[in-house]
Structure formats: structure tokens, C-alpha cells
Amino acid sequence: MCSFPTASSAAARPSASRRGLAALALVVALLPLALTNAYTYEIAILVGLNAITCVGLNILIGYAGQISLGHAGFFGLGAYGSAILAARYGVPPLLALAIASGAVGAAAWLIGRPILRLRGHYLAMGTLGMGVIVSVVLATEDRVTGGPDGMPVPPLSVFGYPLSGERTWYWIVAGALICAVALAQNLIESPRGRALRALHGSEIAAGAIGIDAARHKLGAFVLSAVFAAVAGALMAHYSGFITPGKASFLHSIELVTMVVFGGMASTFGAVAGAAVLTTLPQLLTALKEYEMVTLGAVMMLTMIVMPLGLVPTLEKRIAAARGKPV
Amino acid sequence: MLAQYLVSGVTIGAIYALVALGFAIIYNASHVINFAQGEFVMIGGMTSAVCVEAGLALPLAAAAAILVATLVGMLLEKLAVEPARGASVVTLIIITIGASILLRGLATLVWDKKIHSLPAFSGEQPIAIGAATLLPQVLWVLGVSAAAVALLGWFFNRTLTGKAMLAVSHNRLAARLVGISVRRVLLASFALSAALGALAGILIAPISFTSWDVGVMLGLKGFAAAILGGLGSGPGAVVGGLALGLIESLGAGYLSSAYKDVFAFLIILAALVFLPDGLFGRRAAERV
Amino acid sequence: MSVRLLAAALALPFAVFAQEPIRVGAFLSVTGPAAFLGDPEQKTLELYVEKQNAAGGVLGRKLQLVAYDSAGDAEKARGYVKRLIEQDRVDVIIGGSTTGETMAAVPLAEGAGVPFISLAGAVVIIEPVKKWVFKTPHTDRMACEKIFVDMRARGATKAALISGAGGFDRSMRAECLKVAERHGVQIVADESYGAGDTDMTAQLTKIKNTPGVQAVLNCGFGQGPAIVTKNYRQLGIATPFYQSHGVASKQYVKLSGDAAEGVRLPAAALLVADTLPAEDAQKKVVVAYKHEFEKRFNQEVSTFGGHAYDGLMLFVEAVKRAGSTDKAKVRDALEQTRGYMGTAGVVNMSTQDHMGLDLTAFRMLEVRKGDWRLVD
């Protein structure tokens, strides 16, 4: 019934996760050598933004063991919040980003309390409904949001200097990603994180040793919402444009797929999942009308063959090859 | 006005009810939410439409469509759900969502991206009932849905196979211990759900047409209805479906048509907050 | 010896084409919710690139089409446009089947200085006018104006709107709300339905019970309008009913069946190509395109494919006039297009008008016995 996160070995040993962080920083620093033009930089930036969202979502799904089929709603709210504040109210973009993310966190706190009382598929429905409500409102209130065709967003600026261009943004997103991963790892290894993992194992047992399930679930929910909101706001300012499609059910599913594909309860799994599933559709365009069939088949096959996700399965194989118990 | 809203609400509600029943049957047997349920509706509608366009008589086309959908359902169970039996809830959700994407992609390859229609079963002359008018097709939707629900009720309560399926939903281990093949029950549940979905697709195609992506919204709403009614409860699915249809119709009529979906979901969420297991859901006793 | 001569002779035409091909980039919604826009657009571009090459290319160079399927997704569109500009190094971009996708691509085309001919409908694409962005279809505002003029001609001054949830639907609805007053029409009801909705009788009942409604306009495309049309007849509403140019296709008529009788909508002359009077200035172009398309693809011609034809031909003409594919020169030549006859109508561009069509480009059609009939 409950699938215990098996990547706990990596998370439990701080030195391993610090090595992982260093490795990530190295990859991020060296990647530009392989990026040839603005288009490839764009893909890398998208990977980074999805990775930030997924790292947050993974805390909720992988560690706290909850389901969210509406997380794109938070992404969209962060994006639109920052966009509207900056475009219609002249708020400096960095401040708009901060306010929007904070507001989304507050909203998540308010919604989270009643919603997290639901379990399993009921929680899935609850979060799904929330996501649908957000995307419908964003698409319908066209005077504020520009409607289904979206609205333009002013670029991020620091002390009046606009930050634009793929190369600049690559470093912004890379920095944000490293921070997000470091934050997530920090949380996982803290007593809070251990409480979360205990919750996932068995809510009742955790309660028996004094862990306040509701509070910890809510904390994970809010944190993952904030991660998504920040990523959304960054995407809005980077693209210069935002559409309600970013808050759609389809996008929520994409995010969950990235987390599960990469490996739940594995921060680096979330990053890996985001990387693979953001670049894959780009590669599949060559298949033209076979793209959908291939995508569906890939999703199904990888989940059937690697139900734990990419990174934990790899870790297992490597550990088995080395003869060590996982 | 109210009469018309009620008629339209019950019409949409009946379709949601059929889709929700499909969700409930599969969930009961396997504790899996089959997010590809909407695609069975699509397969039913598209197959029958294409057959009729090719010259087949409507009843034959309908039968062919239900058969095709049933086969697809069984294939889905064999190839995707069974191999992933021990996986977590989230993984299974991803698998069935992947299946729905695959099926939609196949639909665009096998057929096309155009919108298709079925001829109405008994004509298009509107019938007036009091202050409301409805199409004859609506009577077919309501009638056949009611018959299907009644048939299912008889099947589950009076036949051995049906009771076996119910037994598996109550307690898998105990069912196995008395000799029920859980694997066969799973296969049967997928087949049955697919057939139900296809039936819904055929019934609604004359009214609201069919295309490769009709399944997306219907699947979502059917899932919402199933949850509202209480996952795993057949009567719950039907009540949930009808309720959802009525909320949408009344919301569109009396409040704001642009936000009718928002009202529907808000009400579902509110209902879940007070009844976390849905209207008729079984309070699952959690084993420690 | 003779073999070498033969080889040289055979190589000659290839030597002519051995020059760099002219790369035409395209991003279209071939799959997804706007597939019936992108599908004929893609087919048209392929067909006419082929025909152009068979006729010797442009300036002695072959045309090469690089097309991507953005599936109606603005984010995907952005990615593909970046790819077209940076990786494929195209000379022009023709595409953006939907307004959302077009608007996402506009900053990229503007930033990189690549001529971009959009195939989408909303007026916001060319208003305010942008240096590198042009468009071939009529704007949704023009459609509203044509419809309001016709409503007034029929004596209607109060109208009800019913629109879908998509970008096209909402954009046209917003434009109609804006220009209604100017044409003496008051909007007394404004209902909406969602994507994938199966029944709109609730919304229509509300409209039916609104006092004073003299005409109803449905802004939408896809299967929604067909369902609205059927519900309209089912409820026995006799008020004049208008559809948008978004459903100017035989598919709409077929799906709605008898319910579509008497429905009016603004559309390009392309739809009634064969019944146009012989003196009609557009007749030659639209008949030619219609026959070529239907012969090759064995499917009904669509105005959206016509927009792609216009886009490609405008580019080809501009290149010929500019004498090169230099992006700035082509852009200037595009802006100087005068008197070009396309499938949408006569095109007269200027520095302030990057679409070039006027209201004569729209014809009012009425559905009679399952076919189109010119009204004006």
C-alpha cells in the first residue's frame, strides 16, 4: 500500500547530498559549453524552471506523500501575479515577484488546511479542482489577465537595468535552481524533513510519536506552492508573455510526471525528470504526427519498467553492481 | 426556464453518470483510477461515426464500437495495469494518463482530427414537455442510461460474476481465498467500464458530436462526479453524475455561464471538505 | 566523352538551384484544438512551395519549407520560433494559427528582425502596428463590424452574444463589445460556454428570456457553434442568428444539419468561389486556389488555408519586388504591397496598416439548403 521512498539512503547521508549539489553546480557551470545558440539556451532555461517547480513538488509528493494534480495553478498564479503587478501597477519586477510568491504562499496556506484533510484520490480531486478553478478564472477575467490569449510581461530589471537575453537568464535560473535544491536538501535532512518522511510512511504511527501531521503536510504544501510560484514568475518575466495554459490541468500532469519519472523522494530525481521530460518533446517533433503516440507510450513504458523513477532505479542498479545493500 | 435547465442538467448528468460508473467499476476491482476512461467514450463515438460514414447501419456500427472499446479496455488492463500492479498510486495515475495520451494519438492516426457526428436515433424534431423542449435523442440518453444502470445493478447483485466482482472490491484477499480469480475480475472490470464509456459516447454523439479529443473534458468531469458520489460506489457515481450536470446547468442559467465550471468544482470541493469520502463513499477503515 | 557531356548537361539545372534555398519558416497548429486551422495551412504551404519550385523558384532560388507543429500552445510556439530564427535561420516566418501563439512569437520576430506574416485573427496583432509583423486574415473586429452592419440592415438594434472560452472566441467577443455602440447596436446579453461543453440550452434559454433581443451572435469555432446552432433550433428561437468567420466551413454546415438554415456569417469570397459573378475581381484567384487545393488533397477548401496561400504569395511577391531576400528589404517591400489580390481580398498595406484588407474583403453569406449563398 505505501511505497516507502527508497532514496532515503542518499538523503540521509548529508555528505552524499552535498556531493550531489556540487555535481549539479558543476553541470550547470559547464553546460553552456554545449549550448550552441539561443534556442538551446531556451531549452536549458525551461529545464531549470521546470526543475525548480518539480523540486518543490517532490517535497510534497515524494516526501510528504501527498498528491497534487493542480500544482500548475500555483505556477500560473505566481506568473500572473507578478505579471499583473509589474505590467498594470508599475511595481518593480523583482518586488512583484516577491509579493506574488508570498501571496501564493498565503493562498496555499488558506486552501491547504481544508484540502489536506482529504486523502488519496479525494486529495487528487481536490487539488485538480483547485487547479481547474484557477485556470478558468485566469482565462475568463480578460480585463485583468488578457484572457485566453494571455498578456505581455515586462522584463525583470535590477536598479533599472532590464535583464534579458538567454545567456543572462541562464545564470539567473541556474542560480535559482541551485538555491532551490540546496533549500530542499536542507529541509529533508532537518528534523522537519524526517518528520515529513515519517508521515509518508504512516500518518498514524507518526502521530503516535507526536508529529503534528496536519501542520507538516501544510508546511510542505505551502513550500511547494512557493517554489512553483517563483518559477512561474521567473518564466513570465523571461518569456515576456504569459498565457493561462501555464495553469492548465495538462501542465499539472506534466509536472507530476516529471517528478514521478525522475524518482519520488529524490531531489536530484526531480531535476533529472524535469530535464528529460522538457527536452524529450523537442526531440520528438521530428516524429510529427507520431509525437503524441510516442509520448504516451514512453510515459507508460517507463513507469511500468521503472516504477520507482529514473534516479532511484539507477541508484539501485549501481548499488547492486557494487554489491552494497540499498 | 427552470424546466429547461433541469432537462439540460439531467441530460449532461446522465452522460457524466455513465462515465463515472466506468471509473467506479474499475476502481472497485483494482483501486486504480483509470484516467483513460474518457478515451473509451471517444472510441465509442468515433468508431460508430466512422462506421456509419462508411455505410454500416447504426445498430451494427454501435455494436462494433462497443466491441472495439471493450477490446481496447482489456488490452489496457493486460499491458499497462497488470504489469504495474504493485506501484504507488501516483505511478498508476501517470500510467493511465500516458495511456490516454497514447489513445488520443492513435485516434488522430487511425482516424483524423475532424469533428464527426452520428445521426440521431429517432430524428431531430424537438419534443415539448411543459415549458421545456428536448431532442428525442435526449430521451434515448436518459432511457438507455437508466437501463444500463438497472442492468448493472442486477448484474452485480444477482449474478455470480457480478457478485465476485463486488467481493474483490470489498476484500481482495478474502475473495482470492474463496477461489475468485482476481485477475479475471480485473479484466472484466476494464471490459465493462470500456463498454459503458463507449455506450455513453455513442449516445451523446448525435447531440454534441465526437472527435479525437472529446474524452478529455468528459473524463475529467466523470472523475469529478465519481469522487463526488464517493469512489467505489455505483449509486454514488450515478447520483454524482446527475448532481454535477444539474449544478452546471443551474449555475449557467442562474448565476454566470462563464463560471459554471468553477461553481461546479467549488461545490464539489465544499462537499468533500464536509464529506471527505464523498456522498456515498465507504469510510475506509485504515489498518495500522 | 559523350557521357561527360551528358553529365554536364544534366548538372546544369542543378547548378542553377545549387544556390542557397530561400527558407520559409512556419509554425502551425497542425494538431491540438486548432487543428482545423493548421492542417489546411500546412497543406497549402507545402502545395504552393512545391508549385513555386516547379515553376522555377523565386529569383532563381528554390523555396524550402521548414514547418513545426505548435499544437495551439503559445509556449511551444515560442520555442519553435526561436528554433526557426536561431537554428534554421529562416528568411521569413509564416504562421501562428492562433492569436496566442502569434503574440508569443511577436517579440522574437521583432527582436531578431525577421519578417513575420501571421495567420491569426485578432486585431491586437497589427494594432498597434509592429515593424516586422504582418497578417493576412481579416481581423475579428472587421467581422463584428460586418455583422453589425448587416444586423442594422435587418432592423435589429439589440443583440445578444454567446461565446466560447477559447482565445478566438473571447477576443472576438471583446471586439464586438467595443464596436457595437459605434454601429448603433446594444448588447443586452452576454453568455459563455466552456470548451468541450455538450449542451448550451441553459445559456440560450437565458437569452431567449431576455427582453428585446433582436439578433443573436455566436463568437466561436470548433464544435461549440454547431452545438449552439442545434440547441437554437431545438428551443425554437426564431431571432436572426449570426455565426463568426471562425465556422466558415462546410464542416459546420454538415454538423449543424437543418438547424443551420438561415444562419448568416461573414466569410471570404473563397467559400462561394464558383458562384461568384464573372466580373468579381476576386473570382480568378479564389477559383484557382480552390481547384488546386481540392484536386490535390481531396478535401473541402478552407479560408484558413487561403490565409496561408496569401501569406506565402505576399512574401514571394515582396521578394521579387525587393530583388533579394535581405530581411529589411523584404519587410519594406511587404509594407509597400498595393493592389495585391489574395483569397481574402485585395491587399493594400501601408506603414500604419500591416494587414491591408478592408470591409469589402468580407462577404455576408447565408446558409441555404446546406450550401452558402451570397447575401450582399
User: pLDDT by residue (tens digit) across B170-226?
Assistant: 888 888 898 888 888 889 999 999 999 999 999 999 988 898 888 988 999 999 999
Q: Assess whether pLDDT exceeds 80 at residue A14.
A: no
Tell me which chain C residues have a C-beta less than 8 angstroms from the C-beta of B207.
198-199, 227, 230
Q: Assess whether pLDDT exceeds 70 at residue C259.
A: yes
Mean pLDDT for the stretch of residues A191-199: 83
Confidence of residue A226 (pLDDT cuts 50, 70, 90): very high
Region of poorest pLDDT, from B96-100, B153-157, B197-201, B275-279: B275-279
Cα C213 to Cα C19: distance, rounded to the nearest angstrom: 63
Q: What are the helix (H) ranges across C154-223?
A: 167-179, 201-208
List the single best residue of C36, C42, C201 to mutate versus B (max B Cβ within 10 A). C201
C283 at interface of B, judged by CB pairs closer than 8 A: no
Mean pLDDT for the stretch of residues C270-277: 87
Distance from CA of B139 to the nearest CA of A (A): 31
Question: Which residue's C-alpha cell is 433541469?
Answer: B6
Cα C162 to Cα C170: distance, rounded to the nearest angstrom: 10
Cα B222 to Cα B199: distance, rounded to the nearest angstrom: 14
- Is the pLDDT higher at C143 or at A3? C143
Q: How many helices (H) and strands (E) does chain C have?
A: 12, 14
The answer for residues whose C-beta is within 8 angstroms of residue B21's C-beta and 6 or more apart is B148, B149, B152, B193, B196, B226, B234, B237, B238, B241
- Is the pLDDT higher at B278 or at C140? C140
Mean pLDDT for the stretch of residues A239-251: 88
Question: Which residue's C-alpha cell is 545567456?
Answer: A167
pLDDT at position A324: 67
- Per-residue pLDDT reduced to its tens digit, A55-68: 999 999 988 888 89
Short-list C295, C85, B90, CA closest to A127: B90
A-B CB pairs within 8 A amount to 136
Tell me C349's DSSP state. -
Question: Which residue's C-alpha cell is 506574416?
Answer: C117
Confidence of residue C210 (pLDDT cuts 50, 70, 90): very high
| Pairing mode of beta strands C215-219, C363-368 | unpaired
Short-list C249, C339, C228, C370, CA closest to C303: C249
Distance from CA of C265 to the nearest CA of A (A): 23
pLDDT at position C354: 93
pLDDT at position A161: 78
Confidence of residue A321 (pLDDT cuts 50, 70, 90): confident
Q: In this structure, what C-alpha cell is assigned to residue C243?
A: 455565426
Cα C118 to Cα C116: distance, rounded to the nearest angstrom: 6
Cα B50 to Cα A98: distance, rounded to the nearest angstrom: 54
C304 at interface of B, judged by CB pairs closer than 8 A: no
Distance from CA of A141 to the nearest CA of C (A): 10
ipTM: 0.86
Confidence of residue A1 (pLDDT cuts 50, 70, 90): very low
Cα C224 to Cα C220: distance, rounded to the nearest angstrom: 7
pLDDT at position C248: 86
CA neighbours closer than 13 Å in the CB half-sphere of residue C185:
29
Cα C322 to Cα A223: distance, rounded to the nearest angstrom: 57
Mean pLDDT for the stretch of residues A240-266: 88
Cα A227 to Cα A56: distance, rounded to the nearest angstrom: 5
A-C CB pairs within 8 A amount to 79
Mean pLDDT for the stretch of residues C73-96: 90
Question: In a 10 Å sphere around its CB, with 0-12 CB exposed, 13-18 middle and 19+ buried, how is residue C98 labelled?
Answer: buried
Distance from CA of B217 to the nearest CA of C (A): 6
> Which residues of C lie closer than 8 Å to A, measured between beta carbons?
30-31, 68-69, 73-76, 78-80, 82-83, 85-87, 98-100, 103-104, 107, 122, 124, 165-167, 169-171, 174, 192, 194
Distance from CA of C236 to the nearest CA of A (A): 29
Cα C85 to Cα C25: distance, rounded to the nearest angstrom: 8
Report the neighbours of C using a cutoff of 3 or more CB pairs below 8 angstroms. A, B
Q: In this structure, what C-alpha cell is assigned to residue A8?
A: 532515503
Q: Are A118 and A124 in contact (CB under 8 A)?
A: no
pLDDT at position A4: 46
Facing A142 at nearest CB: one of C73, C74, C170: C170
pLDDT at position C375: 87
- Per-residue pLDDT reduced to its tens digit, C130-170: 999 999 999 999 999 999 999 999 999 999 999 998 888 99
Q: Are C108 and C85 in contact (CB under 8 A)?
A: yes
Task: Search chain B and give the residue with CA nearest A291.
Answer: B105
Torsion over CA: A152, A153, A155, A157 (sign): positive
Q: Are B248 and B75 in contact (CB under 8 A)?
A: no
Q: Are A148 and A246 in contact (CB under 8 A)?
A: no
CB contact under 8 A, C191 and B4: no
pLDDT at position A10: 45
Tell me C85's DSSP state. I
Question: Which residue's C-alpha cell is 481496447?
Answer: B72
- Other C-beta atoms lying within 10 Å of the C-beta of residue A181: 22
Cα A72 to Cα A85: distance, rounded to the nearest angstrom: 20
B151 at interface of C, judged by CB pairs closer than 8 A: no
Distance from CA of B283 to the nearest CA of A (A): 12
pLDDT at position A2: 45
Task: Search chain A and give the residue with CA nearest C98.
Answer: A149
Report the neighbours of A using a cutoff of 3 or more CB pairs below 8 angstroms. B, C
- Is the pLDDT higher at B90 or at C118? C118
CA neighbours closer than 13 Å in the CB half-sphere of residue A289:
13
